[in-house]
Structure 1
Amino acid sequence: MTDFGMIAGKVVVITGGARGIGLASATALQALGAKIAIGDIDEATVKESGAARDFDVYGRLDVTDHQSFESFLDEVERQLGPIDVLINNAGIMPTGRVVDEPDQITRRILDINVYGVILGSKLAIGRMLPRGRGHVINIASLAGETHIPGLATYNASKHAVLGFTDTLREEYRGTGLRFSSVLPTLTKTELGSGVTAPKLMRPAEPEEIADAIAKLIVEPRSKVRVTAVAGIISQVVGLLPQSVGDAIGRALGAQSAFLDDVDSDARKAYENRVRE
């Protein structure tokens, strides 16, 4: 049985913490006794979320800007002490065919989903190495183990997160630092609005991802997939011959889930926000 008591008193920083998986994780870890700091590019919403839940530190954080990230971590450590866990959660998922994707959106996806994770990890490692302890948890996606039409650049970004995190795990083996990836399936957050999950792969609740993160902090592993069923399907399909795996993906509806089957009206608010 998982001993969540180990989380009490830990200083946990979560990027993209104003809503969705980030906010659910912050709420769950706070309930387990962690000291919580959330940062988000959406200053108004992160302050609203942070104040409503009485988090220890909350404020604007641009994960693509070195000074913003470093200043935020400095402030966290000034108020709460050394950072025990950094959860690189900030990410965006615009949908559509890549030929229609404006260059600035391609750049924005890569800046937030890849560079933001790399920058945060570097800054955390620099602080954790001298102490010989610390845990970096990077939120990837099951999209990082497969290929989903309508998410070409997003898929690429999550493949990058997985490769980066696995490399850090080996690069810093024996130092006392831990590195983990979390691979959610489509989750019931604004990021997944207007999208119907492929067959057999029900959408996850953000609280399920939060629970997986809490378990990772207590019992570190290299990867955790949520949901378990979606994770198994992803792994099995990845082992099959390409033509068979692609055929299964089409049969499950992955070919159209993020293209023709998207409810554009339901997704409009999210798409407008992340494309600003």
Structure 2
Amino acid sequence: MIVAITGAARGIGYATAKALKAGGATVVIGDIDEEAVAKAASELGVEGHVLDVTNRASFEVFLEAAGEYDVLINNAGIMPIGPVLEETDADAKRCFDINVHGVMLGTKIALARFVPLGKGHVINIASLAGVLSTPGLALYNGSKAAVLGFTEAARLEVKRHGVEVSAVLPTFTNTELVAGTRSPKGQKNCEPEDIAKAVVNLIAKPRPQVTVPSKLAASVKISGLMPQSVKDAMNRRLGLDTIFLDFDHDARKAYDSRIRS
């Protein structure tokens, strides 16, 4: 099995590449950071390429290099945080270019290969942020909600061809994306390896959607039935109303600089 993974120089993508390689898969990773992807590829013992997921030509070259790939994992994404009135138009455009357009682009290119073959699997790394809106996370919430809508529509369209399209919804995960923030009260962040394990299991047993950790899936469904006043009170109790508004700017400076460069 050959698996292509975007945004895999670090974080969830890196952990997923490591887990799949350990399981015997041939893994090809891509990332826009040339130095980081070369280092990651060397450490993992896999093939690595520079990839700009917002550029069709770049994406096509990456997937051509992956050869007869069986699975594409659209993992690349960024998470700008802070008050919505302080997010620039450039922030909004870059967030949606990478998180949404990049996922759509990769999915379409992969499906053009998979549908005629009658097999293949596209896995889009979304987020619980796509279904649970949080103050200070408006751009990210919007982008991940778009990923979920797109992924499900694409899945319904191609399932008759024998092709799988799935979404993975991680909760707070200890990667650079949450630098400078704190965890919700009483909750423990996931590790990238937790998401990687879920992806490995999803490839082995395809499903439309997987939440990580799985115990939160029921909570999300129940919250949809709650009155807004109850949900607001729960958010305040967990501290979700301020996590992405009251954060350590210095601890986040390196990440913010990188995603805006």
Structure 1 length normalisation: TM-score? Answer: 0.92
- Point out 4+ residue stretches in structure 1 off by more than 6 angstroms: none
In the alignment, the residues of structure 1 paired with residue 239 and residue 223 of structure 2 have an alpha-carbon distance, to the nearest angstrom, of: 14
**Whole-Å Cα distance in 1 between the matches of residues 252 and 66 of structure 2?**
34
Give the structure 1 partner of residue 20 of structure 2. 29
Helix, strand or coil for the counterpart of 2:77? Answer: coil
- Counterpart of 1:42? 33
Q: Distance in 2 between matches of 1:263 and 1:203?
A: 17
Which has the higher mean CA deviation after the structures are superposed, 34-43 or 244-253? 244-253
Question: What residue is the counterpart of 2:50 in the other structure?
Answer: 60
* CA distance in structure 2 between the aligned counterparts of 1:224 and 1:200, rounded to whole angstroms: 22
**In 2, Cα distance between equivalents of 1:16 and 1:111:** 14
User: Which residues of structure 2 form unaligned runs of 5+?
Assistant: none
Q: Deviations over 1:14-52 (max 9, x none)?
A: 000000000000000000000000000001100111012
- Which residue number in structure 2 is paired with residue 75 of structure 1? 65
Is the CA contact 1:145–1:238 (under 8 Å) kept in the aligned structure 2?
no
1:142 counterpart = 2:128: yes
Over 3 Å counting, the alpha-carbon distance change for 1:231 and 1:194 in structure 2 is farther
Map 1:129-168 to 2 at 5 A: 129-168=115-154
SS at match of 1:256: coil
Deviation at 1:235, TM superposition (A): 2.7
CA distance in 2, matches of 1:32, 1:54: 13
CA positional deviation for 1:193: 1.2
Q: Which residue of 2 is the match for residue 223 of structure 1?
A: 209
Equivalent-residue separation in structure 1 for 2:155 and 2:83 (angstroms): 34
Moved more, 263-272 or 125-134: 263-272
**Counterpart for residue 252 of structure 1:** 238
Q: Does 1:113 align with 2:99?
A: yes
CA offsets 1:178-216 (integer angstroms, 9 cap, x no match): 011000011011111111111233110000000000000
- Would you say 1:243 and 2:229 are equivalent positions? yes
Question: What's the offset of the Cα at 1:234?
Answer: 2.7
Deviation of residue 159 (structure 1)? 0.3
Gaps of 5+ in 1: 1-9
State the distance in 1 between where 2:225 and 2:51 align. Answer: 39
Following the alignment from structure 1 to structure 2, what is the Cα–Cα distance between the partners of residues 180 and 259? Answer: 31
Identity of aligned residues (%): 52
Query: In the alignment, residue 95 of structure 1 is paired with which amino acid?
Result: I
After superposition, the C-alpha distances for 1:214-252 in whole angstroms (9 at most, x for unaligned) are 000000111111123444333322221222112211211
Q: TM-score, normalised by structure 2?
A: 0.97
